[in-house]
Amino acid sequence: MPAAEAEAAAPLEDDEIRDLFHSLSTQTALLLAVSGGPDSMGMLAAFARWRDLTGAVPALTVACVDHGLRPETAAEAAGVVRAAEGFGLPATTLRWDGDKPATGLQEAARDARYRLLGSHARDIGASAVVVAHHREDQAETVMMRLTRGSGPLGLKGMAAASAHDGITLLRPLLWVPKARLAATARAAGLTPVDDPSNRDDRFTRVRIRQMMPHLVAEGLDSERLAIFAGRMRMIEAALAQHAAVLDAASRQRSVVPETVVFDGSGWLDKPFVDVQQLLAAVLREVVPEGARERLEALEALTGAVLMAIAEGGALRQTLQGALVTVTAGGRVIVAREPARQSPRRTI
């Protein structure tokens, strides 16, 4: 969005704030993750206004994560605490201590941020952490995943609610333009900080952000990408329902812990994507802490399973910490991969 257009953006109005946060009124306590940038400061101002409009339920607490990546971050975090306290909201700074990686810094910082926020939320009894992801964030996420070859499950973008390390992350602002959050912060008298990493083109998201004006010129703006993500989410819901039906029809009783058994003999006349979705779901069930594999690996596993069923041959393949076995007769067994034993040393 051009600078002049961003400056002209209107702050969120009271009715919009009520609508955006209405579904959160059933929560008992929320932890607001505020970095000090225009997005999260706009969110802070909007939540403070919501409290004034609707009362003090749920209880609101603010946390700012100081990643320690720039000399100014401690002072910036202190500014967030002062701003929150100015609204009468309790606030604290969470610090990411220790060595920082030379590569994958943004990913490591994100993981540390969510780990610290999740731990603090549990400590204070908050039911969820609220983050200020907005419409442009959603558009950039879709574009990043598209460049990495994601299928519908990736192109659905970020969810309004998701789980991360046992804590719920809420994103109530995914349809709000970034400029309107910045305007909401300005209208509340807040001065956001400027993080130069948001312009550092060493990072993929920044390069995607720099590319977006060219897409906007062709009509592909953040709103259209967010709508696209919503449509992909509807497709995901349909695929998940198909997989659940296939699961119910083919799952067999298993007495072995962390092991799921299917009669896969009827899978060959089902759509490939239904079997793929079922395998993805059961991998998460058997190894919930496992890393999520790329689409290509899941497609290859699905193809290998169906081929083994069709040929009546055996298959033993590992993926995502699970061992997938196909036996004669089309039985498909998914179990946690056995721990590898260290070779014995001879003396």
Out of 48-57, 163-172, 197-206, least confident range: 197-206
d(CA 258, CA 285): 8
Confidence of residue 7 (pLDDT cuts 50, 70, 90): very low
Q: What amino acid occupies position 308?
A: A
Helix (H/G/I), strand (E/B), else coil: 33: strand
The two tokens of residue 207 are 């390069």
Stronger pLDDT, 180 or 288, i.e. the higher one:
180
d(CA 190, CA 47): 14
The two tokens of residue 8 are 């002209």
Whole-structure pTM value: 0.84
Confidence of residue 28 (pLDDT cuts 50, 70, 90): very high
d(CA 332, CA 334): 7
Pairing of strands 128-130, 29-33: parallel
Q: What is the pLDDT of residue 340?
A: 65
The residue count of the chain comes to 347
Q: Is the pLDDT assigned to residue 2 strictly greater than 60?
A: no
Arithmetic mean of pLDDT, 286-291 = 79
Q: Is the pLDDT assigned to residue 3 strictly greater than 50?
A: no
